[in-house]
Every structure is written in structure tokens, then in C-alpha cells.
Structure 1
Amino acid sequence: MLMEADLPEDIEALRAFALEQVRMLTAERAAAAELALAKGEADAEIERLQSIIDAFMRHRFGARSEQLDPDQLQLGLEDVETALGQARAAREAASPQSKSDRQRKTNRGSLPAHLERIEQVVDVEDKACPCCGGALHQIGEDVAERLDVVPTTFRVLVTRRPRYGCRSCESAVVQAPAPARIVEGGIPTEALIAQVLVAKYADHLPLYRQAQIYARQGIQLDRSTLADWVGRAAWYLRPLRDH
């Protein structure tokens, strides 16, 4: 707060001080007006996007002749909801609130108990009381959980099969047989082939897109190679299909 003792006694200095205060006040008002305008625009965009989502949902549950294809509906909702999230972020940036003013939000979807928990403790550096200097003791804690992901990691399984010979007769060579593979002489493990199958048939990810994903990791696999793996796996899975 500005006190009387802080005011300069010289007239010119006082005039310059007053002009500076006016400039600062004008800048603050302009910034506040810009924030208000940005918030208003964000609110209008959110309202517009929400109306689009409502229209999509009416098509979903409307008369059969008005219903959209389920895949088209999901793609449309995905794009609109992405834009809605961007508009909400813009509104929050335009009207920042203090921690105590923010509405408490729960996770959108509970996090399964079986997932691994990696804990990190964010603690104060100085455990001395800022008022009296006494030692602080813990009286509670705030715990927040966020969903994290470890990107898919590829690895190479190296199979070694030692060969043994006899020094006495020098005619016998003993070696363990090679384990059976779905693709004899090929590079994929059964786990990798299963991943390709799940991505193709459960997640509807075409093989050429899967090949692009592998290429980003420096693994060059043609679509035709992946298709060959899928075909061979399908042959081995025939008993399950015919059961």
C-alpha cells in the first residue's frame, strides 16, 4: 500500500510519479479488458461446441432415419470434444483463480487398483517454522493420482544354443533343439505377433499404420511382412475357430 511518506517532495518528481501511476493503472485496466474479452470469446466457443455435441447426441438417439453411422459419430464427437477442451483451457487461462477458489474436481474415471504406483514426494526444503523457527512436524498430506504411461519398448530376445563335442571320439555333436516358432527363421516373438493381431482386429489399426509406428522406433517392417505374420498366426489359431 502506498503511504504518504513514499510520495516525493519535489513537484517535478511528484508529477512524474503520478504519471507513472496513471500509466500502470491504464495498463492494468487494458490487461483486464483483454482477459475479459478472451474469457467471453472462450465462453461463447464452449457454448457453441456444446450445442454441436448435443446435436450429435440427438442424432445418436433420434429416429433411425436420422441416426449417424456409429464410427462417424465417434469421430465427430472426438474432434468436437478436443476443440472443447482447448476452449476450456483458454477460458481458464483468461480467468485464473486462486487455489482456494478452484472447484475441486475428481478424476474422470477411477484408476484401477492393480496399476503400479510410482510415488514422488514433493516436500518443503526447510522444516523450521517460518514464525518462530521451531521444528515442524507433519500433520497431514495431500495426495493426487495421475495416469501415466510408459511408451511401448521394443527389445531383442537373443537365443543361444551351445553346441557340445566329444574330445574322445570327435564324432558326436550335441545341441538342444531350437524352440518352435510361428514364423520359422523369422524375427517376431509370439508376443509381438499377438500385439499385431490385437492392434489389427481389436483396435482396428491397419497393418500399414502399424508399420509406420515400428518405423519411428527404427524398425523397418513392410506391410506385407506383417500380413504374412497375421496369416501364419491365423493358420495356427484354426482349432480355436473351429472349436
Structure 2
Amino acid sequence: MIAVPESLPDDLILLKHLLLLASEQAAAKDARIEQLQEQVALLRHKLFSPKSERSPEDADSPQLAMFNEAEELIEAPAAAPSEAEAEAEAEEVVAPVKRRGKRKPLPANLPRMEVIHELPEHERTCACGACKQVIGEETSEQLEIISMQVRVIRHIRKTYACKACETAPVTADKPAQLIEKSLASPSVLAMLLTTKYADGIPLYRFEKMLSRHGVDIPRQTLARWVIQSGEQLQPLLNLMRDKLFEYPVLHCDETRLQVLHEPGRDPSTQFWMWVQSGGPPDKPVILFDYTASRAQEVPLRLLDGYRG
């Protein structure tokens, strides 16, 4: 509201001057209110509008220049701000400065190799002629990854025979292999299963990874290795199921699955992947079972012997 004096002067000229001054104050207040309303609208637009929309600040055409009025009024130099305007500007919220997050240290269990950097010989001599001595050091760490190394393990089995008699020769035994008469060592099978099931890399991509090292193994062979490895892991699966059945709570659910190439079945036929989860909270057990139906006999078979 405009302040009105308790008593008005009788002089007509002085009275006109007071009315003119009151009118100027009202016009200035209306302009300030309109400017604040435009600022509020602009801030609401920046906060709540979709990020894909162009900001009025990016508009260069004359038709869109009218939206820059609030920014132009803010940047325009003012003559002398009043006390109310100074208080309003002091109450403006300052945007918080986004601080950079603290870098997490590298795991302490990783092996470390130290690389010592010394000053060159010509920089170890001081300007006074004396030799500089080591008084401290600065340490920083950098993560390094050694790329996959592919090598061939040659198993050489020595054969022994007795020259004094005609006893049959004896050949040294080779350690038991996970897949007998196969090119795959345990490390290759471990990496194959990890990349496929933990990292989600298809077999054809693993085939290309080996081909870059000059090893040509078709994906059909890789698929056979996966199946044979699964058969060898059946004892581990039994132990996981025993651990799963030890706890009183177990979750079991099925999900539709479409298999394009299944012998004796139409490609549009639905299959099912049953999932069982439970076990210790810190080491949960999750088991998958592939079936051709969701009949009652499937959960009865999967939960046979469970008393939870």
C-alpha cells in the first residue's frame, strides 16, 4: 500500500506533487510485481518442464526474443535499488554448488606393483653444487587390467619299459579332466560359463573373442562344453538344493519361455522356466529348472521333501 500522510497540504501545487509521487511509486511497484511473476514462471519452467524442450535462453530468433525479457531486466543496470528491492534480492536462493564425489579407494586385496620414478641425473645436482637427497615421496594408484592371455598346455606323458625283460610298457597317467578328450581346460570352461551366465555374453561373441587370438572353435562346440559342464556340476547343484531346503521360507515361480528349435514340438509352443530362491540372506540360493509344462507334477517334483 502507498503511505498517505495524516494531513494533506492546502497548497494545490504541493498536493499535485504528492499525487504524482504516489503514482510513480505505484507504477514502480506494479513493474516489480510483474518482473517477479516472470521470474517465478521462468523458474517453474526450468524446474518442471521436460528436459527435451528448448529453453528460452537458446532462442535466437526475433519471435522468441520476448521470452528473454526477464533475463534482460535482471542483467540491465539499475540506478539505485530501494530497501525493499535489496531485501528481496538478499532473500534469493543461491543454487547449491555440485561437489565432486570422493573417489573410492581400490580394493586392498588386489596385487600391487610398485613403479618408482626418480629424478634424472642432471636434475639431482642443486644450483649450489651439492647433490639433492630424497626427503619424501608422493604415492598415487592406478588400476591396470591385463588382457586375456591364450596359451596351450602340452601334456607330455612319458612311457617306460624294461630292457631286461619283455614286460609291457607303462605310460604315466594324465590328471583327470573335467571333460575328457577335450581341448578345453578348466580355466577355459570357467571363463566360458562366467561370460555366458554372469556377464550375459552369447556364445557367438565368445567365439569371436577366441578368433581374435587365432583360435577357431565353433559355437556348436562351445554349446557342447556348456552342457557337459552342467552335467559335471550336478553334485554342486544337489548341495545347493540341500542348503535351500534347510530354511523355512522358499519362493517358487514359473515364467513363460519360447524355444524356437525343440525336437518334436512346434516353435510357438510355450515352455516354462521354474525359479526357486531362498537360503541364507547373506548367501541366497537361486535354482533354475527348465520344463515343458506347468502341470502340478512339476512343483511337486521340485519341492519333494521340503517341509518349509
Structure 2 length-normalised TM: 0.42
Paired position in structure 1 for 2:14: none
Higher helix share: 1
* Counterpart pick for 2:157 among 161, 172, 177: 161
Paired position in structure 1 for 2:105: 110
Paired position in structure 1 for 2:198: 202
The amino acid of 2:138's aligned partner reads: D
The amino acid of 1:229's aligned partner reads: W
Higher normalized contact order (CA 8 Å, seq sep 6+, divided by chain length): 1
Paired position in structure 1 for 2:124: 127
- Residues 138 and 178 of structure 1: is their aligned pair in 2 closer, same or farther, counting only changes over 3 Å? closer
- CA apart distance, 1:123: 2.0
- CA apart distance, 1:167: 1.2
Paired position in structure 1 for 2:169: 173
- Residues 169 and 107 of structure 1: is their aligned pair in 2 closer, same or farther, counting only changes over 3 Å? farther
Paired position in structure 2 for 1:97: none
- The answer to whether structure 1 residue 148 and structure 2 residue 144 are counterparts is yes
* Paired-residue identity, %: 35
For 1:143 and 1:224, locate their aligned partners in 2 and report how far apart those are by CA, in whole Å: 49
- Residues 148 and 159 of structure 1: is their aligned pair in 2 closer, same or farther, counting only changes over 3 Å? same
For 1:179 and 1:135, locate their aligned partners in 2 and report how far apart those are by CA, in whole Å: 60
- CA apart distance, 1:238: 1.1
- CA apart distance, 1:228: 0.6
Paired position in structure 1 for 2:29: none
The amino acid of 1:165's aligned partner reads: A
The amino acid of 1:156's aligned partner reads: V
For 1:198 and 1:137, locate their aligned partners in 2 and report how far apart those are by CA, in whole Å: 51
The amino acid of 1:109's aligned partner reads: K
* Counterpart pick for 2:134 among 138, 145, 169: 138
For 1:241 and 1:208, locate their aligned partners in 2 and report how far apart those are by CA, in whole Å: 27
The amino acid of 2:198's aligned partner reads: A
Stretches of structure 1 that go unaligned for 5 or more consecutive residues are: 1-50, 53-104
Deviations along 1:44-68, one digit per CA (max 9) or x if unpaired, are xxxxxxx68xxxxxxxxxxxxxxxx
- Residues 228 and 120 of structure 1: is their aligned pair in 2 closer, same or farther, counting only changes over 3 Å? same
- Residues 178 and 120 of structure 1: is their aligned pair in 2 closer, same or farther, counting only changes over 3 Å? closer
- CA apart distance, 1:110: 1.4
1:1-243 to structure 2, matched below 5 A, reads 108-125=103-120, 126-130=123-127, 132-243=128-239
The amino acid of 1:121's aligned partner reads: I
For 2:195 and 2:117, locate their aligned partners in 1 and report how far apart those are by CA, in whole Å: 38
For 1:215 and 1:193, locate their aligned partners in 2 and report how far apart those are by CA, in whole Å: 16
- CA apart distance, 1:177: 2.6
Deviations along 1:134-182, one digit per CA (max 9) or x if unpaired, are 2212222221111011111112111111111111222321122332222
RMSD of Structure 2 on Structure 1 (CA)? 2.0
For 2:136 and 2:166, locate their aligned partners in 1 and report how far apart those are by CA, in whole Å: 75
The amino acid of 1:241's aligned partner reads: L
How many residue pairs are counted as aligned between the two chains? 140
Structure whose alpha-carbon radius of gyration is higher: 2
Stretches of structure 2 that go unaligned for 5 or more consecutive residues are: 1-50, 53-99, 240-308
Higher strand share: 2
